[in-house]
Amino acid sequence: MDNIYGDGVSHELLGNAASIKQLLESLAQSERELKNQVTLFSAFLDALPNPIFVKDNNAVFIACNAAYEKAFGIAREEFVGKTVMDLDYLPELSRHTFQKADLELLRERGETREEIELAFGDGCVRTVLYQRKTFELGDGQGGMLGLIVDISQRKRAEKLESFRSSILEMLAGGEELRPILMAIVQGVETLCPDMMCSILLADDEGQYLGNRVATSLPESYTRALGRVAIGHNSRPCGIAACTGQRVIVENIASHPNWAGACSVAIGAGLVSCWSQPIKAGSGDILGTFAIYHRRSAIPIDTEIELIEHTARLASIAIEKTRAEHTIRELAYYDALTALPNRRMLNEHLLETLAAGQNTGEYGALMLLDLDNFKPLNDQYGHMVGDQLLVEVARRLSRSVRHTDLVARLGGDEFVVVLDSLGGCAEAAELVTLEIAEAVRKSVVEPFRLVVDSDQGELEWVSHTCSASIGVTLFSGVQECKSEVLRQADQAMYQAKKSGRNSICLFESVE
């Protein structure tokens, strides 16, 4: 058939077909490029470790990354095309809060950056840095990009460092041990609100744990448990102190070592217990740090780190207190008899004189020197002489009132300071002489001492000793410390001149 349209029309149709084909190919290429860009964009988002979401100008989710899905336990297909109001896994109040904030930001355009508490898909509430920024695509198109950065570990580290610093400041400030341990317990409970903590201290013999420090444990529980024996068959704290290892009891009700106290713990609502030994630098056990929960629980890595760190802080506090106590003992107490030494005597006497000036009450000072001490040293040696001095110290302490001070000056000289003897000189003198006589009688009783025999065996020997006692009264009005000591010393030498084993009052010295 002949071409009825002519050659010109035929060529035009063929040209249009080629243009359409070229256009279709161009559109297909553009679609492929767009898909590649979308794929590339999605891959880029999924490669980022932090949760990211994208919303349009109506606050409708249009995209998110894999980290967002993982963090909140929800597939993107379940919420893309929806607003936050459609996410039932969030509390209603949270949904309204987020939706209102999103719409305000999209209306005003800009960006926000804030720290908030956010519930994740695993049920944990974490502190996050929540950032949002709007964007524009032209032709009225655009939306908002959101980024969520989990900063829980950083905030936890900051809180832990703040907690640690506050305890170290208390230590540096010379705070007493118990308030420091109380602050440690309260600090851990603040960092971990589901924990209830206590610290138990080991006694000097290493047999028991006691002197409990606890703030949130029920009083009925702490009172019922009392002290805890240190041993393999004890409760977890006792086992931890015995073995030096952490003890984890996930469920108190099923643990054999809780059999005797299980009802007490359950009655207090306690379900699990972790016990961490508190060790000195030498490895000696100072006590235990216990953590309780009202649910079955075993510690995770971060909790173990906190427990160990807390035990070290407690160890520092306990060792520092013990060191200070030792220093004070060395500075103020006689190493042999454990009586106050000359330094403490001087301070106490000054305080007693000052109190007498304010109250008008009398005090008294006795200076005591042993009469038959040198022959014992000469015959048996200083080791036996030291035994006698220790026993004299015990007898003197038992012979005076509990408010009186017994001190050792050195050698075989002792001092007794009496205070609060009243405002009447005669009555004060009578009480003083009665106590002095009790002291004299206590010393004159025979002493049984252990000595090495010539055969190298230990045997008992009896030694009779006595004391010359000088006594002076003071009211603190005119006397000074050195004058009071001088008066007692003068009276003591008068007692020795009078035949020893006697008491001489300073006022009677001629």
Catalytic residues: 412
Place of tokens 């448990």: 225
The candidate with the shortest Cα–Cα distance to 146, out of 103, 113, 108, 109, is: 113
468 has which bridge partners?
369
Contacts for 63 with CB less than 8 Å, ≥ 6 apart: 42, 45, 53, 54, 76, 80
Contacts for 240 with CB less than 8 Å, ≥ 6 apart: 246, 247, 275, 276, 277, 288
Separation of alpha carbons 338 and 335, rounded Å? 6
Is residue 395 packed enough to be buried (19+ CB in 10 Å), middle (13-18) or exposed (0-12)?
Answer: middle
Contacts for 479 with CB less than 8 Å, ≥ 6 apart: 353, 487
Please report the beta strands in 120-181, taking only residues with DSSP state E, as ranges in sequence order.
Answer: 125-138, 141-150
Separation of alpha carbons 255 and 263, rounded Å? 12
**Residue 124 CB neighbours (<10 A):** 9
Cβ atoms of 68 and 148 closer than 8 Å: yes
Please report the beta strands in 203-336, taking only residues with DSSP state E, as ranges in sequence order.
Answer: 208-214, 228-229, 247-249, 272-279, 285-293
**Residue 459 CB neighbours (<10 A):** 11
335 has which bridge partners?
none
The rounded radius of gyration (Å) of the Cα atoms in the chain is 42
